[in-house]
Amino acid sequence: MLAAAAALLTSAGPGAAAAPTAAAHAPAAAPALAPAADTCDVTKSAAPAKDPDGAAVRRIRQRGSLVVGVDQNSFNWGFRNPRTGRIEGFDIDLAHAIAASLFGDPDRITFKTVPTARRIDAIKNGEVDLITRTMTITCDRLKEIAFSAPYFRSGQQAVVPKAARITSTAQAFRGRRACVAAQSSSEAELKRDARGTASVTVVENQLDCLVLMQLGQIDTTLTDTALGAAQAAQDPGIELVGDTIAPAFMGVAVSKAAPDLVAWVNQVLADYRSGGGWQRSYDHWLAPTMGASSAQYLP
């Protein structure tokens, strides 16, 4: 069993992560139902604008580099290419577009890898100017940080081993050992509705769930549909199954104290989409695993 798991780990793609921490292996009891999330308009954001006198934008320009929180373990979204040593992907292309708008140079940028569970703290503590890291806009998160307008429409879906022959969302969870990333929308969703899971393991990053699945220590993962497709691209032994649940939008996370930067990013997003940058990035990174048509993912 372990030999087979090791072979799978070796065959994983360039975004493969190191094995999860020991703490991540400890399964937690299935979470009890939590109160339903409050409702708000997650698509609402500042009007697009380029304010040359905005305090946050001026500070970034004076520094000479945009500091962006990213992932390096999400294949096709934000991963370190072993051939180039560079962090690349759909989210990374967007970060370069924002840097280009500020400096006229897409490479005037400093990437800081931020685990899923630390994204909000990294923004609130000023460790990064913004985060492009498949971050879902939620009402709870909007209480702590600001978001750009949505740049990707998504949802959540179960990832399971093909050998399990699971065909529905209900089958994917009932009586099975599930895995989610800490402080993720998937963790919140299973707290809201545990779906009969036997246990839920909470890890630092969603790719850790893939490693645990390869080791036979969990049975199913709940993650963003886009990230699930990336996991399937890395490991041909797993697949997405069932319906997409909890429809959601991804946004660029920014400090509430930087409204001018939010407006600036929204202008970049408008230009990025109308100028074809969004579609070119989708075609390059995501179309091979998520389909040639991007219509269902456009916010």
The terminus-to-terminus CA distance of the chain in angstroms comes to 43
pLDDT by residue for the chain (299 residues), tens digit each? 333 333 333 333 433 444 454 344 333 433 333 334 558 899 999 999 987 679 999 999 999 999 999 999 889 999 999 899 999 999 999 999 999 999 999 999 999 999 888 999 999 999 999 999 999 999 999 999 999 999 999 999 999 999 999 999 999 999 999 999 988 889 999 999 999 999 999 998 888 999 999 999 999 999 999 889 989 988 999 999 999 998 889 999 999 999 999 999 999 999 999 999 999 999 999 999 889 999 999 98
DSSP codes joined into one string, 236-261: TTEEEEEEEEEEEEE--EE-TT-HHH
Cβ 202 vs Cβ 187: under 8 Å: yes
Nearest-5° angle of CA 230, CA 86, CA 77?
Answer: 25
- Residues in contact with 103: Cβ distance below 8 Å, sequence separation at least 6, in sequence order: 61, 64, 66
Name the burial class of residue 61, with classes exposed (0-12), middle (13-18) and buried (19+) by CB atoms within 10 angstroms of its CB: middle
Measured distance CA(23)–CA(170) in Å, rounded? 28
> Hunting for tokens 């609130």 — which residue is that?
124
SS3 content of the chain, % helix, strand, coil (to 5): 40, 20, 40
Measured distance CA(262)–CA(54) in Å, rounded? 10
CA neighbours closer than 13 Å in the CB half-sphere of residue 46: 25
CA distances from 71 to 4, 79, 204 (A): 28, 7, 12
